[in-house]
Structure 1
Amino acid sequence: MLALAGKTALVTGAGRGIGRGIAERLAADGALVAVHYARNDAAARETVGAIRESGGRCFALRAELGVPGDVEELYGALDAGLAEQGAGRGLDIIVNNAAVSSSARIGSVEADTFDRIMAVNAKSPLLVIQEGLNRLRDGGRIVNVSSAVSRRALPETLVYAMSKAAVDTLTLTLAKELGARGITVNAVAPGFVATDMNARRRSTPQGEKALAALSVFNRIGRPADVADVVAFLVSDDARWITGQYVDVSGGSML
């Protein structure tokens, strides 16, 4: 019996990177996975194809986050996709992974950049959960993807770190708010992972080596390193864990 058989999961930002890893793992564990993406149709098709080739169940849905009407578009597409799959509107798992980033120290932060990052990384998870609670079954699971930089000083990612700190507070507060329904709310905090978001930092052998050296294991993280922890948190084995910030940085900057 697969751990998530009969469950339905929504994973935002699942077309590539960590989100794709999470979507693939949850599908492998038996969940019907809604693969959300914003713009990259080709990447989303690859993710869906990979899941289906492995025997998993999924469908893609497109919605730009951080803009007016984003949540309505997201859930409209979700409901349509679930109907096509012969499933009801109910959800068991919400994973807020979608995020954008930018490199800027305090002296070069621009207001538009701040607003965009906060809209996608902090506001959208709140609104996705707010609307999702109408569909999330009692005993459900919410996992928010935070970042190790919310608790470590990395001046060049100031605004991104601020947005992820907001996710940490959202997680802690909702864990208490939703406990009466048996819903757990946790955050996972990756360090540097081999994804497109970190491509610039990994563009040279020296950069790759420097990032690897941050971890006690002397390597850069992989999407599966994060996805496996998320799979645990959404399983019944993690029923007594809520409100937690789970560091999945490979012991970075200890």
Structure 2
Amino acid sequence: MSKTSESTAAPIALITGGSRGLGKSMALHLADRGVDVMLTYHTQEAEARDVAASIEAKGRKAAVLQLDVGKAGGFAAFAAEVKSVLGRVWRRERFDCLVNNAGSGGAAPFADTTEEQFDALLNVHVKATFFLSQQLLALIADGGRILNVSTGLTRYTVPGLSAYALMKGGIEVLTRYMAAELGPRGISVNVIAPGGIETDFGGGVMRDAELQKAVIAETSLGRIGVPDDIGGVVASLLSPETRWLTGQRIEVTGGYKL
């Protein structure tokens, strides 16, 4: 497909960790805005295919790919698979938006955090965001978007989450550097920082009634977050109207601990 015909086609987004939670909401909100979606899963293939079916029911195209973001050695092969899927499903060479969403939780006091725990978080969050984005650069269209996912924990502190927050802080710094270096290609790079969201992330900790009560007490908007609070913001940040926004951290916490 020529560059001209690609530019008039529906946008394509690639979302890592799109089988459930925030990634699922992002995918469905983007589909509602006319965006086709490639989504990855680690182990939840059936859930990922259900999301793809929902996207297709909205009249958009979808593709499902397996990816372990904790293993950077597999990123080159994954990029080759993305290229193949683009050609086979869309007859295109490039996609438009990359959302580095996949992640894992991990709570442990600073004094008790092991090197193994630290390295696992480093691989999934920092190395994956850095090296997966690097491998996919040739497949991202000029003028495209990259959106990284951080956490509100880089602004406020919750004891026991130092290693996790540290990794996300690294992603926020990386976002600014990516924005500066990819700007000449017209690629904008931003980072979203969600607060406590009621999902199964981290073992579903935010579903605990007592924890929710404590969080709500310090949240300006007076409730706990739900996945659609994030999915809607992501779809807005990847829309044409935000093309002049880059290198920015956007916190979506409902005003927690302001």
TM-score under structure 1 normalisation? 0.93
1:162 aligns with 2:166: yes
- Equivalent residues, number: 251
Distance 1:68 1:239, change over 3 A: closer
Residue 205 of structure 1: CA displacement?
Answer: 2.4
Contact 2:83–2:94, Cα closer than 8 Å, also in 1: no
User: Secondary structure, in 3 states, of the residue corresponding to 1:36?
Assistant: strand
Residue 154 of structure 1: CA displacement?
Answer: 1.6
1:193 aligns with 2:197: yes
- Deviation track 1:122-178 (CA, whole Å, cap 9, x = no partner) reads 110111211111111111111001110012112211111011001101101111111
User: Secondary structure, in 3 states, of the residue corresponding to 1:89?
Assistant: coil
Distance 1:86 1:141, change over 3 A: closer
Which residue of structure 1 lines up, in the alignment, with residue 226 of structure 2?
Answer: 222
Distance in structure 2 (CA, Å) of the matches to 1:43 and 1:191:
24
Which of 102, 111, 117 is the matching residue for 1:98? 102
1:113 aligns with 2:113: no
TM-score under structure 2 normalisation? 0.92
Contact 1:175–1:184, Cα closer than 8 Å, also in 2: yes
Distance 1:138 1:202, change over 3 A: closer
- Unaligned stretches of 5+ residues in structure 2: 1-7
Matching residue's letter, 2:178: L
Residues 1-254 of structure 1: pairs in structure 2 closer than 5 A? 6-254=10-258
Distance in structure 2 (CA, Å) of the matches to 1:11 and 1:204:
28
Runs of 4+, deviation exceeding 6 Å: none
User: Secondary structure, in 3 states, of the residue corresponding to 1:85?
Assistant: helix
- Unaligned stretches of 5+ residues in structure 1: none
Distance in structure 2 (CA, Å) of the matches to 1:211 and 1:43:
29
Distance 1:213 1:67, change over 3 A: same
After superposition, the CA RMSD in angstroms is: 1.7
Richer in helix (by share): 2
User: Secondary structure, in 3 states, of the residue corresponding to 2:138?
Assistant: coil
Report the identity percentage.
34
